[in-house]
Amino acid sequence: MSGHSKWATIKHKKAATDAKRGRIFTKVIREITIAARVGGGDPDSNPRLRTAIAAAKNENMPNENIERAVQRGTGQLEGEQYEEVNFEGYGPGGVGMIVQVVTTNRNRVVSEIRHLMSRHGGNLAETGAVGWMFSRKGQIVVSKERASEDKMLSIVLDAGAEDLRDDGSAWEVLTPPDAFDDVREALIKAGVKPESAEIAWVPQNYIKLTGPAAQQMLKLVEALEEHDDVQHVFANFDIDEKEMAVMAGQS
């Protein structure tokens, strides 16, 4: 087990705020639609769709909303044609960033993401410039109130997880992508409901930020995530407890 950035917990807290705004529903619906379009409408044979549907149910999304999103993806229902785009770039302090976007207008969103990055001390980079800093992994966040460290270890390691990390108020479980479903299901069967679960780009190393750079980085991530077309923002920064307290006081 190892400690690391508190960013997974920050993201979960922000997601709770986003849910109140209805934004989380929009993001999940787009993910379901893209997943169904790319891999088909059967979740049993489409792991990405299975994960997206689980995320939707975790947010208490009605089944009819899920079904319509799947049908739009498979072409059974008419709807907007989404395109999935990944942007790579740098934030304050040289932080590596991957921004996942689902959009109906690629040219527009490129301009808008570039503007947001430059406005908050970052810049876009060429494809592959920062991707090597991240690994594709399953990432599951569980509140510490739901399970002890010993219980978490006994559940997730037996199910195929590769690491359990202390993220302050939560546990972060990392898995190989092909073990993600098994680990998530093992937690649910044990009565431990995850706060969030996704296949993510997880940093191999973290850059420590403090003071103005940390605050600017958080503002950049928030600005990007508030963009309607942005699905996820992954970044390899860490912030200390003082910066966490400042951010909590401002939220």
Residues 119, 121, 126, 130, CA torsion sign: negative
Long-range CB contacts (< 8 A, 24+ apart) of 176-180?
176/137, 176/138, 177/136, 177/137, 177/138, 179/138, 180/47, 180/51, 180/138, 180/140
| CATH class of the domain at 134-203 | alpha beta
Using DSSP bridges, classify how beta strands 123-125 and 83-90 pair: parallel, antiparallel or unpaired: antiparallel
Q: What's the confidence (pLDDT) of residue 82?
A: 86
Rounded to an integer, the average pLDDT of 44-55 is: 90
Those residues with Cβ within 8 angstroms of residue 51's Cβ, 6 or more apart along the chain or in another chain? 35, 180, 181, 197, 198, 199
In the chain, which residues fall in CATH 3.30.70.980?
Answer: 84-132+207-250, 134-203
Q: What's the confidence (pLDDT) of residue 50?
A: 92
Rounded to an integer, the average pLDDT of 106-123 is: 95
Reported confidence tier of residue 78, pLDDT bands at 50, 70, 90? confident
* Confidence (pTM): 0.82
Least confident range from 17-26, 93-102, 160-169: namely: 17-26
Rounded to an integer, the average pLDDT of 97-104 is: 94
Reported confidence tier of residue 21, pLDDT bands at 50, 70, 90? low
Determine whether domain 84-132+207-250 maps to CATH 3.40.50.1980: no
